[in-house]
A and B are shown apart, each in its own frame.
Chain A
């Protein structure tokens, strides 16, 4: 009883979470996804992609990783790009790139936005 009860409340919890995300998602949608994604990508406490990547419009950029340009060409399939951002260790287990989704450094919604931005480069 206890156990099933707990599982049930878990589902309620995730439903609530989804509801919450939809609400914040809507607030963010007021801004266009590409500029919202850019903010997240440049923010040191969020994506901090500039620590390693060169991205047009950035400052104080690192040079550990390939510059992010012509992304539609590199990743014709947007889902593949999202996967790279979600968990870079899937392609390269020793990658220094943080697994943003797998380790919940960014939320799913945030990863969507960052993907939109990177895809636009």
Chain B
């Protein structure tokens, strides 16, 4: 009896899994967006880029006050200095990214058909350094986050536009990231989607959960919590730093920043926010 039930169950799972895989990225995106628009009917699409602050009037007031004199400004300036400073070989970042820094952020992440992998902005920053005989930056904070924040700042007002090409390997990377997002993990048994799809707008302890839609528009982010931990008030951190934090709080082993897992996750995660306006860097608690 039990066996039959298991068989039926697995048949059901297989069937639903096929439907899940059969949906194209475009269909996924439409459903994803419709879900959040239904859940929060009062919000405009771009409001989602304000994360939890779009959902709570009190928190929003405090946040708007912070954004009047943004604590990240000095680090965006440091990013600009890095951009302008030539390498020892006389070349500079402009030789890798093009002369106009406002045109950089929107190209990432993207699929690279030659290396068959997802390329991120941070990945290309360090690639540029290495190719020019410079020491690469550390991945999660400091200069890499400053420069990335500078690119984001310069790109404010443009829209996220991740392209998933019709290439089986690119789809595979996208599906990998998507699966990672929806699968429960860690001793506490929670998926990204549990907190950021099922329960956004709810409080977990004192934290108001943000919707997954719009979560990437303001990265790198300046977090008060990270600023407190640093010596010099530098609260900027990359998206992969945040991924690591959200993995370890469910007691899953975090992956390395810029690992294949996190790059694939970013591919899916940023794609889901296509069409939203870039407002990086942002301030968060």
Contact = CB atoms under 8 A, between A and B. Distances in A.
Interface of A is mostly: loop
Contact of B187 (A64, A96, A105): A105
A51 B205 contact: yes
B191 to A, nearest CB: 9
Contact of B204 (A64, A94, A99, A103): A64
B199 A89 contact: no
A52 B189 contact: no
A67 interface: no
Contacts of B187: 98, 103, 105
Contact of A60 (B188, B190, B205): B205
Contacts of B202: 62-64
Contacts of A52: 204
5 contacts: A63-B203, A89-B189, A94-B194, A96-B194, A99-B189
A96 B202 CA distance: 13
Nearest to B209: A64
A96 B206 contact: no
Contacts, number: 35
Given A63-B202, A64-B204, A99-B189, 4 more contacts: A51-B204, A60-B205, A61-B205, A89-B189
A98 B203 CA distance: 16
Interface string A83-99: 00000010000101011
B179 interface: no
Contacts of A60: 205-206
A93 to B, nearest CB: 9
Given A96-B195, A96-B198, A64 B190 contact: no
Given A96-B194, A96-B198, A62 B204 contact: yes
Contacts of B204: 51-52, 62, 64
A113 interface: no
Nearest to A48: B205
B203 A62 contact: yes
B48 to A, nearest CB: 20
Given A96-B195, A96-B198, A62 B189 contact: no
Interface string B239-265: 000000000000000000000000000
